[in-house]
Structure 1
C-alpha cells in the first residue's frame, strides 16, 4: 500500500516507517503537526510531540519524499479514550492534514503511526483513517518494550534523548543516543517501572540518522538545555544541518517478529506430539441437511435483570438484501420496545446460509454500527438455515452499575488481526461484582498482512487461539467462562482438541476451564478459514466491603435448573462472581429427554442450543432459546455428542 508517515521527529514514528517498508508498503509522503506559535517548543498536547519541531523540515530530504505540515490550532478538548468528531480539537487538525495529503496523492491508501501502548493515540489515528478510507499501519503496537528498544538499537537507529521527565533521568542524559541509555532504562524499569520506550512520557527523542535515510542525515551544530519550572523536566533546543551520507546504499529490511510467541511455539510442539484423535468414535460424515429436515428457528427474547438476549431473528423476504434489511429493522424495533439502542449490544452471532454473501451482508450490517465508537463483538459462520441469514445478540441493559468498554482495533500490526468488519475484538461489561468480555471469532490471519495463513491445520489452530488469548489479555478479563471452536472438516478435530488442552495446562495453567470448550463442525468460515475460536471471558471484582454473609441475600436458583444440570453426563459450572449472581454452564448430552426437560423448565435464563437440525427436530418442542445449527458436536476431548448447551444463569438481586 502507498502510505504517508506521521512523524514527530521521534524514534517510534521513524522505526514504524522502517517496518512499513519492510512489509512491502510504499512511502510517498511525510506529515507533521506543529505548534501554531512557532516560538513555542512544546504545547500542552495529549497526542503530539512538538519538542524539536523546527527540525522536521529536514526529514523530507533525508527520505526523499514531500513533507506536508499543519499547525495545531485545536486543543485536547476531547479526552475520552475513544474519539468522536469534536469541534476545535487537535484531532481535527490531523484530519485536515491527512485530507491535504490525500488531495495531492489520490492513490494514498495508508498511514504510518508509531503507537506502541497508547490506545488514546492509536484510536484517534484510526478515527481519522476511517473517515478518509485509509488503513492505519501500527507495527509497533503492543510490542514488548525491551525487545523493541533492543531492535531499534540493533538496526542502527540514531535517536537521541531530547526531553527527560522521569525519575533517574536528568539533563545529563539529554543528547545521548538510545543505545547509550538502553541499559540504564532497563535498570530504571526494574527499579521504578519506567517504560523502556518512554511510553509513560518519561522521555522523548529526535532521530538524526536511520538506515532508511539513504542519502542524507542530520548532524548537531548547537544545543541549549531548557529547564521547565518543574525541575524534573528538561529538554533541548537544537540546531542541525543536513549532511550527505558517504555510504549511501539500500537498507536492510527488518524481519517481523515470529508469528507465534515463544509460549505458543512451545504449545505447537506439544500439539504435534499429542495423540491422534481420529480413532475415536466420532461421526465420520457431516449431516446433509435439506429443507425437509431443517428445524425452523423461532424468534426468542429473554429478559434478565442485566441483559436482553435476542435470538434467531430471521426473515422470509425473497432475497438476501431484503432479508438483512428486515432483520435489522426487527432488531431496532425490539431494542426500542425495551428502551435500548444498537449502542447497548455487546455481542452478535451472525449465521449465513452461504459465506459468499459475506461482503454483501457486511455492507448492510455496517450501516447499523458505522457511527458507534465501539460496535458489538461478533462471530460469523456459514451453516444450514431456512433463510439466508439469522441473527442473535446479547444486549446490555442500561444501569448505573453497568459500564461498557472494549477494544475496536482497526490498525494493521503484528499483535493480532485488525477487525475485518464493523465489529470490535472484544466488548467488556463491568458490573459491581464482575466483568465479562465477549470475544470475537478469531481465524488464522497473519496480522501484518491480513492474509490467511497457509500453514498446516495444527499451526493454524494454535495461531488463531493465540489471537483470542491476546485479545482477552489486552482486555485484562482473562478467565474463560465458555469457548466455542468452529472447524470445517472433522480431520481438524484432533488438532483443535490438543491445542485447547495444552493451552489450558501450559499457558492458562488451570484445569478448571478444560470442559468449557465446545467444538463444532460447520460448512464454512470467513476467508475460507479452517478454524475459528470465540467465547466469553470474565473476572470477579471483589469489593473491599464484601462479606460472605451477603450471599444470603441473593436468589441462587438452587432449584430445578441446578438439579437438572446435575443429570447431564458432561458438564462444567463457572461462577462469574464470588456472590454467585451470574453463572455460565456448559453441558453435553446424548439424552434427548434430559435436554428437552431442561429447555421446558427454563423460562428466565439464556440458553444456547448447539446441535444438528435432525436432533433439534427430535426434541419436538418449541425452542425458546438461541439455536445454533451445526453438522457435528464434540467436547474438549473430541468425544461426540448430540447436544451441547451453554447456559447463563442470572440470580435475582434483592
Structure 2
C-alpha cells in the first residue's frame, strides 16, 4: 500500500515510519504541520519545537515533503472530534488532501502512542478522505519502546523538557544517555519514560532509514516557561546540515527482532427461535431476541421503536448478535446497519456468523441495551501492532458499568488486516487481540470473570480453542459453523464482569441438565442464547426444547430466549456436547421488572 507519513521529526513519528516500512508498505511522501508564526505554541495535536529541522529530515529520507501551516487552535476539545471550522485538525485535513491528490497515497501513518485525543483526530480525517490510518506503535510498552529505539540505532535528541526532575541541562542530550534518568524519574514522580505525558519532546538526527545523518551545528536553549518545579525549556535549531554515513545497513533493521512484530506472517443448521421477547426494568435495560424480517432496515426501525418505548436510545445498545443466512449478503446488510448508527458518538459491539436460515428469513438479530450509569466504548480504526482495528460501524469493546462486551474477534494480522495463515495462527492472534482489549478496558478489576466461547469452521481446531479460551472463564466451548467473516477459521465471543454470575456460559449433555441451568435463573431477567447439537440430541432420543414447553416457564416474562441448532458443540478433550448456553443477566442491579 502507498503510505504517507505524518512526521514532526520526533522519535514517535519517525519510528512509526520504520514500522510501516518493515511491514512491507511503500512510504512515498511525508507531511508536516508547522506553527504559523514560529515559536512554541501549545498544541495537543502537533509538535512544533524543532520544526525548523523538518526539511533536513525529508532530505535525509529522500522523500518529498508536504508542509501545512497552522494556528494551533482547538475549537473542538471533546474527545470525539467533529469537524469544526478553524480547528487545527482542519489544517491536517488540508495537508492530507493534498498528499492524497498529488501522491495517490492510500493510507497515513502517525506516531500516536498513548494519546486517544491525537489518534481519534487523525482517524477522523482519514475517514473523511477515505484513507487507512496506521498507528503502528499504539499502546506499545514505553520501556520496551525506548529499548527498541536505542537498540535499533536511533539517535534521538531531547529538544524540549517540561516535567519535574527535568531541566535546562537535559536539553540537547541524547535519549540513550538520558534513559537511566527517565527511569528513575518514573519511579520517583511517575514520569512517562517515553514522554507520553508531555514530559519531553525529541528530534531524530539519525536512524536506519536516513540516507544521511543530521548534524546540529548551532543551537540555542530557550526558556519558554519559568515554572519553579518544572520549567519548560526547548532547543531552537539555528544551523544544521547533512553528513554522509555508512548506508550499507539501512535495510537491515527490517530483520531485527524489534521489527519482526511489524512484518507479515505467514453451513450452520437452521436456527429455531422462540417468538421475539422483550424485557425491560424501570427503563434501564432492554433485551430483544430473534428479531427478524424481510430486510434489516425494517428490523432496525422496529428496534428503534422498542428503544423509544423503553426510554432508551441507540447509544444505550451495548451488543448486537447477527446471524445471516448468507454472508455474501453482508455488504448490503452492513450498509443498512451503518445508516442506522450514522452520527452516533458510540456504537455497540457486534458478533456476526452465517446461519442456514430459510430463504424467507435472511437474518436473525439479538440485541441488548442498557442505560448505564457509567459507559464508554473503544473504537480504534488505526492499524497498529497492538490489536486488530475496527473496519465497520461497531466498537471493539463497550464497558457498561461493570460489564465488558467485546465484538467478535478473528485472527487478523493487525498491521496488514489480513488473516493469519492457518487456523492455529488465527486462533493465537485472536486470543492476543482479546487479551490486549481486556487489559486496556478492565485493568482496574482486581479479579474478572470471563464468559468466552468460539465459533469454528472445523472441529480440528476445537481442542486448541477450548484450551486457550478456558483459563479463568466460567465455562467455554466451540460451536461448529460453516462460514465466518472474511473466511476466518475461528471467531471468539467474550463478555466479562467482576462477578461471575452476570455473564455465564456452560455446556450440557442432557436436556434435564440444561433445564436445571435455566431453572437457576428463574427469578432473574436474562437474555439466553442456546445452541443445540441436533444430531447428538436425535441420537440420544431426547425431545426438542420446543416439545418441553415448560422450559420457558422457568423464566420471568421479561426474559428472552433464542435457540440455534448447530453442527457440533465441543469442549475440552474434544468431548462433543448436546447443548450450550450463554446467559446475560440483566437485572443484577436488583431493579424491579
TM-score calculated relative to the size of structure 1: 0.79
Partner of 1:520: 479
Question: Any idea what SS the aligned residue of 2:236 has?
Answer: strand
Change (3 A) 1:22 1:481: closer
Partner of 1:134: 131
Conservation of the 8 A alpha-carbon contact between 2:571 and 2:577: yes
Tell me how far apart the structure 1 counterparts of residues 236 and 347 of structure 2 sit (CA, whole Å).
44
Conservation of the 8 A alpha-carbon contact between 2:450 and 2:473: no
User: What's the CA shift for 1:377?
Assistant: 1.0
Tell me how far apart the structure 2 counterparts of residues 194 and 113 of structure 1 sit (CA, whole Å).
23
Q: 1:443 aligns with which of 392, 407, 410?
A: 410
Tell me how far apart the structure 2 counterparts of residues 629 and 95 of structure 1 sit (CA, whole Å).
50
Structure 1 segment 585-600 matched on structure 2, within 5 A:
585-593=504-512, 595=514, 598=518
Partner of 1:4: 4
Structure 1 segment 471-482 matched on structure 2, within 5 A:
471-476=437-442, 479-482=448-451
Structure 1 segment 39-58 matched on structure 2, within 5 A:
41-58=39-56
Q: 1:394 aligns with which of 355, 368, 371?
A: 368
Tell me how far apart the structure 1 counterparts of residues 367 and 108 of structure 2 sit (CA, whole Å).
34
Tell me how far apart the structure 1 counterparts of residues 572 and 386 of structure 2 sit (CA, whole Å).
27
Conservation of the 8 A alpha-carbon contact between 2:221 and 2:233: no
Identify the range of structure 1 (173-182 vs 469-478) with the bigger mean alpha-carbon deviation: 469-478
Partner of 1:311: 289
Conservation of the 8 A alpha-carbon contact between 2:208 and 2:253: no
Tell me how far apart the structure 1 counterparts of residues 11 and 307 of structure 2 sit (CA, whole Å).
48
Q: What is the aligned-residue RMSD (CA, Å)?
A: 2.8
Identify the range of structure 1 (51-60 vs 463-472) with the bigger mean alpha-carbon deviation: 51-60
Tell me how far apart the structure 2 counterparts of residues 36 and 619 of structure 1 sit (CA, whole Å).
71
Q: Deviations over 1:169-202 (max 9, x none)?
A: 2111111111111222223223333212111111
Tell me how far apart the structure 1 counterparts of residues 412 and 6 of structure 2 sit (CA, whole Å).
26
Question: Any idea what SS the aligned residue of 2:477 has?
Answer: strand
Partner of 1:245: 244
Change (3 A) 1:601 1:238: closer
Tell me how far apart the structure 1 counterparts of residues 297 and 375 of structure 2 sit (CA, whole Å).
27
Unaligned runs of 5+ in 2: 538-542, 553-559
Structure 1 segment 217-236 matched on structure 2, within 5 A:
217-231=214-228, 232=230, 233-236=232-235
Question: Any idea what SS the aligned residue of 2:43 has?
Answer: coil
User: What's the CA shift for 1:413?
Assistant: 1.0
Question: Any idea what SS the aligned residue of 2:78 has?
Answer: coil
Conservation of the 8 A alpha-carbon contact between 1:63 and 1:214: yes
1:645 aligns with 2:588: no
Tell me how far apart the structure 1 counterparts of residues 331 and 456 of structure 2 sit (CA, whole Å).
21
Tell me how far apart the structure 1 counterparts of residues 440 and 150 of structure 2 sit (CA, whole Å).
27
Runs of 4+ in 1 over 6 A off after TM superposition: 258-261
Identify the range of structure 1 (302-311 vs 5-14) with the bigger mean alpha-carbon deviation: 302-311
User: What's the CA shift for 1:137?
Assistant: 1.1
Question: Any idea what SS the aligned residue of 1:236 has?
Answer: strand
Tell me how far apart the structure 2 counterparts of residues 154 and 595 of structure 1 sit (CA, whole Å).
57
Q: Deviations over 1:23-77 (max 9, x none)?
A: 1212222212222222xx2112122111122222333322222222222235233
Tell me how far apart the structure 1 counterparts of residues 260 and 289 of structure 2 sit (CA, whole Å).
37
Q: Deviations over 1:602-654 (max 9, x none)?
A: 78332222224676954334974133442222345644332222233324347
Tell me how far apart the structure 1 counterparts of residues 215 and 563 of structure 2 sit (CA, whole Å).
64
Partner of 1:499: 468
User: What's the CA shift for 1:13?
Assistant: 0.6
User: What's the CA shift for 1:147?
Assistant: 1.5
Q: Deviations over 1:545-602 (max 9, x none)?
A: xxxxxxxxxxxxxxxxxxxxxxxxxxxxx24xxxxxxx33334334335646847957
**How many residues are matched?**
559
User: What's the CA shift for 1:422?
Assistant: 1.9
User: What's the CA shift for 1:259?
Assistant: 8.4
Change (3 A) 1:629 1:426: farther
Question: Any idea what SS the aligned residue of 2:430 has?
Answer: helix
Tell me how far apart the structure 2 counterparts of residues 184 and 215 of structure 1 sit (CA, whole Å).
29
Conservation of the 8 A alpha-carbon contact between 1:36 and 1:73: yes
User: What's the CA shift for 1:167?
Assistant: 2.4
Partner of 1:302: 279
User: What's the CA shift for 1:133?
Assistant: 0.8
